Amino acid sequence: MPRSALYLALVLLAAGCRVAEPVDLCLREPGRCPLCASDVECVFAGNPCQKHVYCIHRDTEFAVSQEGCSDALSYEWPDDGDCVCREEVCRTR
């Protein structure tokens, strides 16, 4: 295999293993999110091309960047069940 093809394969393989870092927006900015009563109200929001994903209440006003990227460069998000309601605030486990 030519060196350039090997390099490209390694870059694509490494890029596919990127996992987004969860941020607890409701804890970081108290009062920005409504209080939650159950886990169903808590969701991850963000852009798969950025390294952070935000655990927020589903009714929170939250703007998402429209930046695009290839699937190989996108970040994987944590499982939906990792954004939960604890003490009436959406947060990650």
Residues 68-87 have pLDDT tens digits of 999 989 999 999 999 999 99
Return d(Cα 69, Cα 45) in angstroms, integer.
17
Please tell me the predicted confidence (pLDDT) of residue 3: 61
The sign of the torsion formed by the CA atoms of 23, 26, 30, 31 equals positive
3-state helix, strand, coil in the chain (%, to 5): 30, 25, 45
Q: What is the pLDDT of residue 76?
A: 95
Most confident range, picked from 9-18, 38-47, 63-72: 38-47
Mean pLDDT of 48-58: 96
What is the torsion angle, in degrees rounded to the nearest 10, for the CA atoms of residue 41, residue 62, residue 34 and residue 21? 60
At a CB cut-off of 8 Å and minimum separation 6, what does 58 contact?
Answer: 41, 42, 43
Positive/negative CA dihedral, 10, 68, 40, 89: positive
Using 50, 70 and 90 to split pLDDT, how confident is the model at 15?
A: very low
Q: Where are the domains of the chain?
A: 3-92
Cα 49–chain centre separation: 9
The pLDDT of residue 17 is 72
Region of poorest pLDDT, from 24-28, 40-44, 70-74: 70-74
Mean pLDDT value across residues 36-56: 97
